[in-house]
Amino acid sequence: MLMRSADPIGNPGDDGTGILLGQSVGGAAIHMDQGFVSLPFYAPESLLKGIFVNERGQRFINEDGYHGRTGWHALQQAGERIFLLVDNAAYAPPPEFTRIGIAAAGESWNEVEQELGMPEGSLSATVQSYNRYAAQGCDPAFHKAAKWLKPLDEPPFVALDCRIDYAFYPHFTLGGLDTLPSGQVVNEMREPVPGLFAAGRTACGLPRWGAGYSSGLSLADATFFGRQAGRHAAANALKSPSNTD
């Protein structure tokens, strides 16, 4: 995962040393390029009626999805610039902590496109197509729910600036030590490393891809597999004091 903004979230002590410790005795670390990336642009909920475009003026996601998917997909776009397009009806100032300002405004989408320095007809064609279907209550490109569909046709029009290197994209990593359901850490041959257990974000558990991450996956994973790891370690320790499996 290539992170360009500076907003890791988590406990100050969580710096990856648990993973390094496991690796130092032969544990394999996997999915180290993956992470959760959010773009918490709502509330205000009226902003969900806007549309996200990349710096080529292309839409890339349904805006009513989980913000952890929006952020991750924003990061996959070419370039640093991401815009949320809204009209006068949908506009409300995003909360200050999001660091989302106004990149361009105009009385027509062509004006906004020009101000953003995009090729003529790029962004305006995206909005035109979106508006045509939104007026019919559907979004064949990304299947946004009808509740959030409204043509962006009330001037003035605004492009909100969600640039990757400035706006608030909180993130944490998802890679970690490779484990069995018992919590035993395995090596690169997927053989258990004797006496080594991991759970939570030191392990690469159920949430291992940013693209499919959803809220709740981390806590459920950490508590369930943490318990499994503890039980397995305790049972093994009781079998024989010298047993280190």
Ligand X SMILES: Cc1cc2nc3c(=O)[nH]c(=O)nc-3n(C[C@H](O)[C@H](O)[C@H](O)COP(=O)(O)OP(=O)(O)OC[C@H]3O[C@@H](n4cnc5c(N)ncnc54)[C@H](O)[C@@H]3O)c2cc1C
Among 29, 61, 134, 222, binds ligand X (CB under 6 A): 222
Q: Of 105 and 206, which CB lies nearer to ligand X in the complex structure?
A: 206
Least distance to ligand X, CB of residue 38, Å: 9
Among 13, 117, 140, 241, binds ligand X (CB under 6 A): 13
Q: Among candidates 1, 10, 73, 7, which has minimal Cα distance to 31?
A: 1
Q: Does 44 bind ligand X (CB under 6 A)?
A: no
CA distance 120 to 47: 25
CA distance 173 to 31: 9
Among 92, 146, 219, 234, binds ligand X (CB under 6 A): 219
Q: Does 20 bind ligand X (CB under 6 A)?
A: no
Least distance to ligand X, CB of residue 108, Å: 40
Q: Contacts with ligand X in 169-198 (CB under 6 A)?
A: 172
CA distance 231 to 178: 18
- Please name the residue that has the structure tokens 């410790």: 21
Total binding residues toward ligand X, as defined by CB under 6 A? 16
Residue 190 burial (10 A CB sphere; 0-12, 13-18, 19+)? exposed
**How do strand 171-173 and strand 35-37 relate by DSSP bridges?**
antiparallel
Among 195, 200, 232, 237, binds ligand X (CB under 6 A): 200
Rule CB under 6 A: which residues touch ligand X? 9-11, 13-14, 17, 172, 200-202, 215-219, 222
